[in-house]
């Protein structure tokens, strides 16, 4: 590896602005509301855009797909802490083979389509209960989009119901850990949340080893192939990836459907609706890879160690891959978006996220077909990797 600057694991140097590093300012209010115009600019300028900070950014569907599939590009870190045993183990999301292959295989059995389908009745039950509890005027994020997936993932893991609310603060902070470390304060905050989360789960794992239940954590805790550090890192991943993305999927879906008077489509075409939301406004906006060896991308030489960002939000609006890509079309057919990635890191929880999104949006459309957003410009969270609304005030009009 070379000494290339790693924008996702160190504070940005004082001499470099976020816009210098990334090619856009993630804190600009206009960008938070509508990043896709800037993505389009970058894609028009160059399919492989180089920022002033030296970061390569893949902006097209073709290049992002190639980046995600090419084994010459990976995370290139020391996720198992072999170099420094005092550091926490990273999740398999940030690993390369063979460690990624081994750990993903141990967890993936719980997320097969057949296993996820068994969760359908419980997801429908939670959804119906949350909708019944909605006031005529509600913040749909806090009252519905957030509690639905967090209840599902914490029940799946086997977290006691009394502890569910404790996860909100941890989850929101840990979601920021996926972003570039744009300040030392953010780095400290995410490290603190990670330590608190691990301490909590360390006690829960010990209890499950003594008295196993029917939950996923009990099953994982019995595996000799998983060290405690690897199991703790997997719990962090499942919490954040297991619900933060789905919160954004549901809220983004309601905003784009109800704001256009199209919520009824979710009652009759829930699967197509969810796929279009994922394409049009993906919950995961970007991903980072490093050249593990000298490589090339789109005919451009990429020396070993070079960081390359795949701009998923730009790829999903690429006119070379999608007809009229900036139009939200819940009746759109065909075209494979990159919201869940590709290759060996394809999202483990994609089937569960789709199930929750389809059930949630269909149930809302059936129970409150005249639901409408009441804020013309609802605020977005100041996240970069995970794009989602901070609040979504709505009027139900059942």
Question: What is the pLDDT, as a whole number, of residue 179?
Answer: 64
Tokens of 204: 């829960």
Task: Tell me which of 47 and 96 has the higher pLDDT.
Answer: 47
Task: Tell me which of 187 and 117 has the higher pLDDT.
Answer: 117
Question: What is the pLDDT, as a whole number, of residue 92?
Answer: 54
Per-residue pLDDT reduced to its tens digit, 279-308: 999 999 999 999 999 999 999 999 999 999
Using the predicted structure, report yes or no on whether residue 5 has a pLDDT greater than 60. Answer: no
Per-residue pLDDT reduced to its tens digit, 126-145: 999 999 999 999 999 999 99
Largest CA distance in the chain: 59
Using the predicted structure, report yes or no on whether residue 362 has a pLDDT greater than 60. Answer: yes
Task: Report CA dihedral (178, 181, 182, 186) to the nearest 10 degrees.
Answer: 90
Question: What is the pLDDT, as a whole number, of residue 231?
Answer: 85
Positive or negative, the CA dihedral 80, 241, 334, 114 is: positive
Question: What is the pLDDT, as a whole number, of residue 84?
Answer: 36
Q: Which residues contact 210 (CB under 8 A, 6 or more apart)?
A: none
Question: What is the pLDDT, as a whole number, of residue 137?
Answer: 95
CB count within 10 Å of CB 129 equals: 12
Question: What is the pLDDT, as a whole number, of residue 95?
Answer: 67
Query: How confident is the model over 328-343, as a mean pLDDT?
Result: 89
Work out the mean pLDDT of the chain and round it to a whole number: 85
Pick from 194, 357, 176: nearest CA to 282: 357
Using the predicted structure, report yes or no on whether residue 125 has a pLDDT greater than 70. Answer: yes
Task: Report CA dihedral (109, 113, 118, 121) to the nearest 10 degrees.
Answer: 140
Per-residue pLDDT reduced to its tens digit, 76-90: 654 334 333 334 445
CATH class of 18-395: mainly alpha
Pick from 196, 199, 219, 198: nearest CA to 209: 219
Question: Poorest-confidence range of 3-17, 88-102, 234-248?
Answer: 3-17
Question: What is the pLDDT, as a whole number, of residue 156?
Answer: 86
Using the predicted structure, report yes or no on whether residue 8 has a pLDDT greater than 50. Answer: no
Preceding amide of 313 cis, omega within 30: no
What is the residue extent of each domain of the chain? 18-395
Give φ, ψ of 288 to 5 degrees.
-115, 140
pTM of the model: 0.87
Query: How confident is the model over 151-160, as a mean pLDDT?
Result: 86
Using the predicted structure, report yes or no on whether residue 186 has a pLDDT greater than 80. Answer: no
CA angle 223/227/231 to nearest 5° reads 80
């Amino acid at each position: 590896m070379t000494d290339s600057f790693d924008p996702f694991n160190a504070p940005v140097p004082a001499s470099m602005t976020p816009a210098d590093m990334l090619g856009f300012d993630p804190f600009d209010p206009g960008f938070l509301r509508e990043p896709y115009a800037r993505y389009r600019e970058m894609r028009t300028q160059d399919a492989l855009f180089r920022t002033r900070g030296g970061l390569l950014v893949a902006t097209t569907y073709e290049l992002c797909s190639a980046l995600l599939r090419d084994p010459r590009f990976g995370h290139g870190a020391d996720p198992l802490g072999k170099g420094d045993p005092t550091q926490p183990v990273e999740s398999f999301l940030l690993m390369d083979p063979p460690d990624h292959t081994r750990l993903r295989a141990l967890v993936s059995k719980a997320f097969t389509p057949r296993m996820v389908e068994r969760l359908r009745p419980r997801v429908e039950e939670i959804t119906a209960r949350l909708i019944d509890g909605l006031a005529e005027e509600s913040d749909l994020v806090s009252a519905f989009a957030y509690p639905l997936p967090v209840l599902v993932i914490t029940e799946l893991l086997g977290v006691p119901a009394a502890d569910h609310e404790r996860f909100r603060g941890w989850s929101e902070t840990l979601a920021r850990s996926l972003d570039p470390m744009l300040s030392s304060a953010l780095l400290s905050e995410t490290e603190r949340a990670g330590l608190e989360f691990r301490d909590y789960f360390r006690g829960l794992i010990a209890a499950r080893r003594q008295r196993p239940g029917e939950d996923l954590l009990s099953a994982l805790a019995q595996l000799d192939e998983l060290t405690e550090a690897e199991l703790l890192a997997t719990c962090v991943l499942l919490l954040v990836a297991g619900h933060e993305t789905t919160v954004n999927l549901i809220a983004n879906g309601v905003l784009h459907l109800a704001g256009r008077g199209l919520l009824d489509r979710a009652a009759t075409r829930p699967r197509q609706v969810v796929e279009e939301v994922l394409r049009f406004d993906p919950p995961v906006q970007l991903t980072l890879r490093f050249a593990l060896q000298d490589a090339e991308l789109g005919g451009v030489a990429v020396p070993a160690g070079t960081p390359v960002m795949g701009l998923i939000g730009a790829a999903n609006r690429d006119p070379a891959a999608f007809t009229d890509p900036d139009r939200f079309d819940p009746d759109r057919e065909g075209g494979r978006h990159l919201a869940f990635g590709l290759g060996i890191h394809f999202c483990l929880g994609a089937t569960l996220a789709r199930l929750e999104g389809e059930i949630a949006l269909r149930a809302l459309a059936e129970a409150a077909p005249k639901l409408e957003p009441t804020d013309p410009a609802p605020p977005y969270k100041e996240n970069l990797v995970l794009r989602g609304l901070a609040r979504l005030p709505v009027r139900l009009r059942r």
